[in-house]
Amino acid sequence: MPLIRLDKYISQRSQLTRSQIKALCARGKVTVDGAVVKSSDTKIDPETAVVAADGAQISSETKRYILLNKPEGYVSSTEDGDGPSVLELVPEELRTKDLFPAGRLDKDSLGALLITNDGDLAHKILSPKRHVSKIYIVKLDRPFKSKYVDIFESGVELASGEVCLPAKVKMVENCEKLAFIELTEGKYHQVKRMFAAVENHVDILMRVSVGGLILPEKLGFGQCMELLHKDVENLLRPLDFDAFCSEFSGVFSAILINK
């Protein structure tokens, strides 16, 4: 197995950035096989090295974070079910057998889906207690009504009797059948059921952000990209809904209009 730099080894397996690792090394807080290593560019054998940073052992397994722009027709599970699994879209060179989709998008839904092997991060993104928001753009069957804003803000009641947490919704300017909606929870078919509760119908649904991570315009349907550290950190950051809608309505409405 070729040797790799210590900072690369740690950054691939933890949330630490290379500059944090460098600083920890300089302070004598990083050990390899029990010996302090002060220089973060030291080469180590990733197969055998036992590395600890700031008193905690670094897992020998690589953490992987992949953002997929999900196309329709794929299911958000690890195995093929009612259609091929989204995992089939992960390029060979990024695949490991422990990857799973962190969250669900319906078979006919589109957009941002995180695929990872980091169970802790997935839990943080999905737990309603963390309030990590997800923004969707929808194409509606009938024109948007301004009353949706208050209804969704006060917690819409679904046909099942379940009451949703307050959600923000905004019509795309000059496009009365397009709207953005921000949720901080993930009930089954939630967006579709929320619009059904106000007697509308979602024809197309696309997730455009997870936390502070916005789906890049250049990532086409069916394409994946490996996330950089700053992108992974962004997943847990808040995003200003109104500012997002103003800045990105042009980009995402063009994508939906052309669907």
Q: By the 8 A CB rule, do 137 and 182 touch?
A: no
Name the β-bridge partners of 100: 116
Count of Cβ atoms closer than 10 Å to residue 15 Cβ: 14
Q: Which two tokens stand for residue 10?
A: 């740690």
The residue (of 13 and 139) whose beta carbon lies closer to ligand URA is 139
Examine the residue annotation and report whether 7 is marked as an active-site residue of this protein.
no
Minimum separation from the CB atom of position 187 to ligand URA (A): 8
The residue (of 31 and 77) whose beta carbon lies closer to ligand URA is 77
Minimum separation from the CB atom of position 117 to ligand URA (A): 22
Active-site entry in 54, 106, 108, 231: 106
> Between vectors from CA 78 to CA 216 and to CA 187, what angle results, nearest 5°?
70
Q: By the 8 A CB rule, do 188 and 195 touch?
A: no
The residue (of 49 and 105) whose beta carbon lies closer to ligand URA is 105
Residue type, 193: R
Q: By the 8 A CB rule, do 234 and 212 touch?
A: yes
Minimum separation from the CB atom of position 190 to ligand URA (A): 4
Minimum separation from the CB atom of position 215 to ligand URA (A): 14
User: What are the respective helix, strand and coil percentages of the chain, to the nearest 5?
Assistant: 30, 25, 45
Q: By the 8 A CB rule, do 84 and 52 touch?
A: no
The residue (of 22 and 177) whose beta carbon lies closer to ligand URA is 177
Q: Determine the Cα–Cα distance for residues 32 and 42; give it in Å rounded to an integer.
A: 10
Q: Which residues contact ligand URA by CB under 6 A?
A: 105-106, 109, 189-192, 205
Catalytic positions, written as ranges:
106
